Amino acid sequence: MNISINGISDQLKNEIRDAALNARSHRGAMLSADQREFYREKIKKLLIERDAVLVVHYYVDSELQILAEETGGCVSDSLEMARFGYEHPASTVVVAGVKFMGETAKILSPEKKILLVEDDANCSLDLGCPAEQFSAFCDQHPDREVIVYANTSAAVKARADWVATSSIALKLIQHLHDQGKKVLWAPDKYLGDYVQRQTGADMLMWDAACVVHEEFKADALEALKKQLPDAKVLVHPESPADVIALADAVGSTSQLIQAAKDLGAKKYIVATEMGIYHKMKQVAGDDIELMPAPTAGEGATCESCANCPWMKMNDLEKMADVLENGGNEILIDENIRQQAEVSLKRMVEFGKKVGVTGRSSH
């Protein structure tokens, strides 16, 4: 089958790396127990006053996940975040995650006020797929169905026929392949490669990667597996192919949480962001042992160490601030929003049809 990769420039790769390092130096504040309690109470009060609900990704600090659940909000993967914000009656949705998650909520719910806890929380995949360059690439391949990962800007989604999250990418591309369609996939080359190998679809790829998952290393993981023969390996498909090849389960964040429960092991090596441990333990049992998959060979340093620098910018203080002052509101050009809504809603409807939700059963 035909796989070809459209390269992004070294300059853009360097800019993304710099942005990640910059984000890492603006990590959420470490608060004392009294400060945490103060902000928790303040947020609870403001949520009622502002008719607002919290929508939180599994990768953000567990404190924010706990608060979202205590206040009737949502903690989930990116597919369920989109669906929940859309269906919830609150007039304001506060998103703790990264920018594309806030934009997705706004695309689906234009009448709602969508506030992002951290305005600078980006994603290397989104940054690695500039809309103009991407659109020119699509123009060169009019014979292909354009599918973009949810981790993209509203303008990139507007250029696509479909959006897909990692929960749904496999089923969606299988479906299109079964209909004889050729695919243009962007931006995550590893997820694209994984889906291509699973489905045999004819896929043309963009060349971006997640700075967190790209760092997991197969040789070190193989050595760790030998040391821990009882441990099962859980891998997000944004990881390189040789890491995926060592997995006992491959899937989106919600699918990995479910796998931690279903596989029934007591020890897991986890190749995804460490924020997920909170929900994994909640769902699969507090007594399971979780450890990060190695991000480098012996003696080397890693850039992210299984921590997303942008997800980790979210904190209680910033959440209280946006609720109080209405800052970081997501606004999208209406033309772009309407076009992006078409491709996003197709994904949501397809998800309902094939029974894929973005939540583990808990």
Write down the least CB distance from residue 182 to ligand SF4, Å: 25
- Judged by CB under 6 A, the chain residues 159 through 178 that form the site for ligand 13P are 165-167
DSSP 37-51: HHHHHHHHHHHHHTT
* Helix axis angle, 253-262 to 78-87, nearest 10°: 110
The answer to whether residues 309 and 24 touch, using CB atoms and an 8 Å cutoff, is yes
> Binder to ligand 13P among 64, 195, 205, 210 (CB under 6 A)?
210
Looking at residues 23 to 62 of the shown chain, list those that interact with ligand 13P (rule: CB under 6 A): none
Could you tell me the smallest distance in angstroms from the CB atom of residue 327 to ligand SF4? 21
Nearest approach, Cβ of residue 273 and ligand 13P (Å):
6
Q: Which regions of 251-310 does DSSP assign to beta strands (E)?
A: 267-271, 289-292
Least distance in Å: CB of 253 to ligand 13P?
Answer: 4
When the beta carbons of 192 and 323 are compared against ligand 13P, the nearer one is: 192
Name the residue nearer to ligand SF4 (CB basis): 177 or 278.
Answer: 278
Closest CA to 250 of 217, 272, 273: 272
124 makes contact, choosing from ligand SF4, ligand 13P, none, with CB < 5 to 8 Å by partner type, with ligand SF4
Q: How far apart are CA 242 and CA 222, in angstroms?
A: 10
Strand partners, 249: 234
Please give the span between the terminal C-alpha atoms of the chain, in angstroms, as a whole number.
39
Q: What CA–CA distance (Å, rounded) separates 187 from 13?
A: 13
- The tally of CA atoms less than 13 A away on the side-chain side of residue 227 is 10
The interface partner of residue 314, options being ligand 13P, ligand SF4, none and the CB cut-off 5 to 8 Å by kind, is none
Binding site for ligand SF4 (CB under 6 A): 98, 123-125, 151, 210-212, 238, 273, 308, 310-311
Q: Give whichever of 214 and 341 is closer to ligand SF4, judged by the CB atom.
A: 214
Q: What number of chain residues touch ligand 13P (CB under 6 A)?
A: 11
Q: Decide if 259 contacts 361 (C-beta within 8 A).
A: no
Q: How many angstroms separate the CA atoms of 153 and 45, rounded?
A: 32
Site string for ligand 13P, 223-242 (x = CB under 6 A): ---------------x----
Q: Which residues bind ligand 13P (CB under 6 A)?
A: 77-79, 151, 165-167, 210, 238, 252-253
